[in-house]
Amino acid sequence: MKTIVAFSGSTRAASFHTRIIRALPGLAPDGLQIAHFDLADVPFYNQDLEGDAQPSAVIAMRTAVAEADGVLFAAPEYNGSYSALTKNTVDWLTRPMGGGALRGKKVMVVSVTPGPGGGQRISKTLSEVLPFFDNEVVSVVNAATVHEKIAADSDTVTDADLAVALRDGLASF
């Protein structure tokens, strides 16, 4: 069984990115499990919180990624770039320099927007940044008008094209 750790870059209760992560187990191929890591308790990166001072949530996050076969960033696009939460996650996981838990992991990026952009700008940014840490970006999935593509009352991807793109993306792990 392969394990993919999934991070939502939004703590908003009705976050589309979080809801897509919740839908992923129903789309994953046999032999692939999705471990949703909740970032709510992870503090802002601070170099004083390294070594023996590491917060328990940081240790848990780094351990989960170190033991995983891949990482999925469900990354909202904020002002054409990262949400602070996604950036913070990348920062924690790429330290200590040269040896962060993210190094060498296969990565999938999912970014969706209610507007017409589809999250392509943050996807491009992540795709450019992550190879610096020897990450292979195995799949990028974007979707615009996402509020029309997820059921209003459940964490179900109702749009066939988006569901297929997510399924294919997971299969690429």
Residues engaged in binding ligand FMN (CB under 6 A): 10, 12, 15-17, 76-80, 113-115, 117
Q: Which is nearer to ligand FMN, 80 or 104 (CB)?
A: 80
Q: In what order do the strands lie in the sheet with 136-143?
A: 32-37, 2-8, 70-74, 106-112, 136-143
Query: Which residue type does 66 have?
Result: A
- Report, in Å, the least distance between residue 79 CB and ligand FMN: 5
- Report, in Å, the least distance between residue 100 CB and ligand FMN: 25
- Report, in Å, the least distance between residue 83 CB and ligand FMN: 8
161, containing H or E segment: helix 160-171
Q: What is the Rg, in whole angstroms, of the alpha carbon atoms belonging to the chain?
A: 15
Query: Which residue type does 78 have?
Result: Y
Q: Which is nearer to ligand FMN, 16 or 92 (CB)?
A: 16
Q: Which is nearer to ligand FMN, 83 or 135 (CB)?
A: 83
Q: Which is nearer to ligand FMN, 3 or 15 (CB)?
A: 15
Look up residue 157 and give its DSSP letter: B
